[in-house]
Amino acid sequence: MPYLVEILLPVSHPRGSRPNVDLVRDELTAKFGGVTLHVNSPAEGLWCDDGEIERDRIVVAELMTPDLDRA
């Protein structure tokens, strides 16, 4: 039975430029035979840490694999 794996990738580049996402896309495609990236609207996470508002932006990568290596 194949497994759907989601990977949350941090986005640290200016809008319109995504070299780190492209590199990961190419590596995942080579290893697993394909990948789906949700990149049009990166998600934004907000949380409070010691009174400071922290932010991050992520892109979701999804891939299918026949086996999981839990180690």
Q: Summarize pLDDT for 5-42 with one digit per residue, the tens.
A: 999 888 876 665 667 888 899 999 999 999 999 887 77
For residue 50, what pLDDT is reported? Answer: 92
In this structure, is residue 39 part of a structural domain?
yes
pLDDT at 15: 61
Q: Give the range of the structural domain holding residue 48, as residue numbers without chain letter.
A: 3-65
Give me the pLDDT at residue 33, please.
Answer: 94
Q: Quick check: is 70 in a domain?
A: no
Burial call 8-43: b when 16+ CB within 10 Å, e when fewer? ebebeeeeeebeebeebbeebeeeeeebebeeeebe
Q: Which two tokens stand for residue 44?
A: 């934004």
Residue 66 backbone dihedrals phi, psi, to 5 degrees? -75, -25
Is 13 inside a domain boundary?
yes
The number of folded domains in the chain is 1
For residue 71, is it within any domain? no
Residues contacting 54, CB < 8 A, separation 6+: 46, 47, 48
Report field, pTM of the whole predicted structure over 0.75: no
Q: Is residue 45 part of a domain?
A: yes
